[in-house]
Every structure is written in structure tokens, then in C-alpha cells.
Structure 1
Amino acid sequence: MSLVDTTLQDRLNRRIEGLRTAREIKPGHPSVATETIRNYHARAAADGFVFDADEPVSKVGGTGTAPRPLRYFLAGFAFCLQAQYVRNAIRMGIDLDELSVDVDSEIDRRGGLGFREEPADFESIAYTTTLRTDAPESEVRDLVETAESCCYVHGTLSKAVELDGTTVLNGSPLE
């Protein structure tokens, strides 16, 4: 059973065409508001949802009550990329039986501790997109290229850090 509802293709195409022919497309303004609860424990509100972040008990002041902040950052990347896969699979009429994105990263912990002159940053981010579909490989390649090029986070990160992406199609790496 497909994870995407390709019957939405006509509606999505009309929406895209309406935006394409619009006189003006106003910029989007994604936002989130956060507050500190206590020490590392923080709360965010966005789109009517509330979610927390914390550090593990092993960090002085952490209580381990929620995922760490960088996990949300990496999950945001994966979620944004997955949304583009779904949107473009619908648009291209591709049924997806499986879609997942796993993200790994490397950071120089000295940056976050103030032990180096350069600002703290990611050294690298690697991700694996896993797809299962009966679509021809050429269509899947188009889907991968389109999803990555339409993902705001992928586009932003690719300018700032080494991104290493792998796609696994039906159990085998897509070369």
C-alpha cells in the first residue's frame, strides 16, 4: 500500500499552477517561539503544537525529559526532505511503499564548549533516504533530484556544510 495518496495529484497540480501564474508569490515566514523552563529544559510552540527539548542527566542541569536540541535540528532536516519526497511523488504519480530518512552528523564538541576560535558548527551531515517503490529507476532519480532541490533545509545546509546523501532503492544503493 502506498504511503502517498496519488489521487491528490490533480489538486496539487492545480495549486502549483495557481502559484506559478500568480502575479506575486509572497515569501513564507516559518516561525517558532521558545522559552526556557529550567536550565536546559526548553519549550517551543509552533503551528499550534508545543514540544520540549532538554539535555541528558549526564550534562550538569539536564533532566533528560525530552530530545536534545540538535536532534530537533536534524529531524527538521529529515522531515522537510520527506515532505518534498511526498509532495513530488504525488505530483509525479509515484507510489511509495516506504520512505524514511536517517541523518547522522559530526560536530567538533570543542566549538560548543568555547575551546576554539571558530564558531561551533557541524563538521558534516550524512543522510540516507530509503525508498521502496515499483516506479522505474529513472523516475526515482528524478524524484530524488527534485525532492532535494525543493527542500529548503537541504538547500541551506548544502551551502554551509558537507552534505553526504545516499539513496537506497528497494534495498540497494542507487548509484
Structure 2
Amino acid sequence: MSNFLNGINVPALQGFVQSIKQDESKRHARFNVKTKWQHQTRSVATVSRYHLSGQDHLRYFQIAADEPLELLGGNTAPNPQELLMAALNACLSVGYAVNASVMGITIHSLEIETDGELDLRGFLGLDDNVNPGYDEVSFVVRIHTDAPTEKVEELHRVATKTSVNLANFSRAIRMVPKLEVISG
């Protein structure tokens, strides 16, 4: 029998979980993204490192963002709202795959579709009483598996309860802004 289910190395995952339980110094993860404006509404974010369980890890990814033509962009990449929803969907996908593997559930296919509507008056500063962000975001999880319905419902409860980005969407995060002005 393989140690892998849904592409997840279950014994390695269990070992990682055990190390977190046993060693306080391994409980934290820190992520960092640096974004540079390029032109018009386009920006490129760079991921170059993260900190996990007391160790720094190097990596390199670039993530472009742009607005569609109708919002004065160049339409060269997803816009920030689409990236936000993609981040939620990706986080939920990880949660479903990992938790299904631990629960012995084989996933044949998984799709998450997220939708939200903004009132542009808030974003454009036309009405101070209008939220510039979402008041509501909905998502649908479509999962194909042979597992019994009760087990899939339990998977759904666990995956949504432990999703970092679903928690970020659902609760206020204390933001700590700082402005550094470079003159000359």
C-alpha cells in the first residue's frame, strides 16, 4: 500500500504535525511578498523566502496583477480581486486534499468556484458609507469522490474550519501600515 493519497505523503504529514505538537519553536510560519508597481495598473509581486519551524527557506516566484481594460488597465494578468479569490481557492484546495488524505478519502476531482460583488462607489471614493471591499463572498466546492456523504461532510467541516485564507476572509486582521517616503 502506498504512503501517498491524493498526492500527499501521509506519513510525512503526520511526522510534521507531530513535530509541531512536540516543539514550541516549530509552531510558527511567516510569509513575505514584495510587490513593485510597473506601469499603469500593473504590478509584479515577488516571493523569495518564507520562515517555517525555525528555519528560513528560499524560493522564487513572480505573480503579476493588472486590471482589465474597462478599469483602465492593460489586461495583462488577473486583477487583485481575482488573485484574492484564487488565493482563497488554493488554500481551500490544499485543505481538502490534505485532510481527505488523512481521512482516507480519495479525491477524483475537486473544483472551487468563488464569487463576490463590489460596489465601485466605495473603491472610487464616491460614497464614504460604501464599503470599498466585499460585504459577502460565496464559494461552491465540487468534489468527486467515492466516500460516503457523511465522511465528505466531515471533510468539508474540517477543511473550512482550518483554512487559513477562509479565516482571513471571515475575520478582521489587524493591519500595521507604515509609510516610507523616498525623496529626491
TM-score, length-scaled by structure 2: 0.79
In structure 1, what residue type is equivalent to 2:104?
G
| Aligned positions, number | 157
1:117 to 114, 125, 128: 128
Please give the per-residue CA displacement for 1:124-145, whole angstroms capped at 9, x wherever unaligned. 1000001010111121111111
Pick the aligned partner of 2:112 from 64, 88, 101. Answer: 101
Letter of the structure 1 residue corresponding to residue 106 of structure 2:
D
Runs of 4+ in 1 over 6 A off after TM superposition: none
Q: What is residue 30 of structure 2 aligned with on the other side?
A: 29
45-54 or 95-104, which deviates more? 45-54
Alpha-carbon shift at residue 59 of structure 1 (Å)? 2.7
Task: Determine the C-alpha separation between the residues in 2 that align with 1:21 and 1:139.
Answer: 29
Quote the Cα distance in structure 2 between the aligned partners of 1:156 and 1:63: 29
Of the three residues 84, 97, 104, the one matched with 1:73 is: 84
Asked whether the equivalents of residues 108 and 123 of structure 1 are also in contact (C-alpha less than 8 Å), the reply is no
Unaligned runs of 5+ in 1: 161-175
CA-to-partner distance for each residue in 1:61-106, whole Å, 9 max, x for gaps?
A: x111111111000100010111111111111111000111100001
The answer on whether the counterparts of 1:9 and 1:93 sit within 8 Å (CA) in structure 2 is: no
Give the CA deviation at 1:3. Answer: 7.9
The root-mean-square deviation of aligned C-alpha atoms, in Å, is 1.8
Distance 2:29 2:7 in 1: 25
Q: TM-score, normalised by structure 1?
A: 0.83
Gaps in structure 2 of 5+ consecutive residues: 48-58, 173-184
Aligned with 2:71: secondary structure? Answer: coil
Contact in 1 for aligned 2:5/2:104 (Cα 8 Å): no
**Percent same amino acid among aligned pairs?**
26
Q: Distance in 2 between matches of 1:5 and 1:106?
A: 34
Structure 2: distance between partners of 1:105 and 1:23: 38
2 CA distance for matches of 1:155 and 1:23? 22
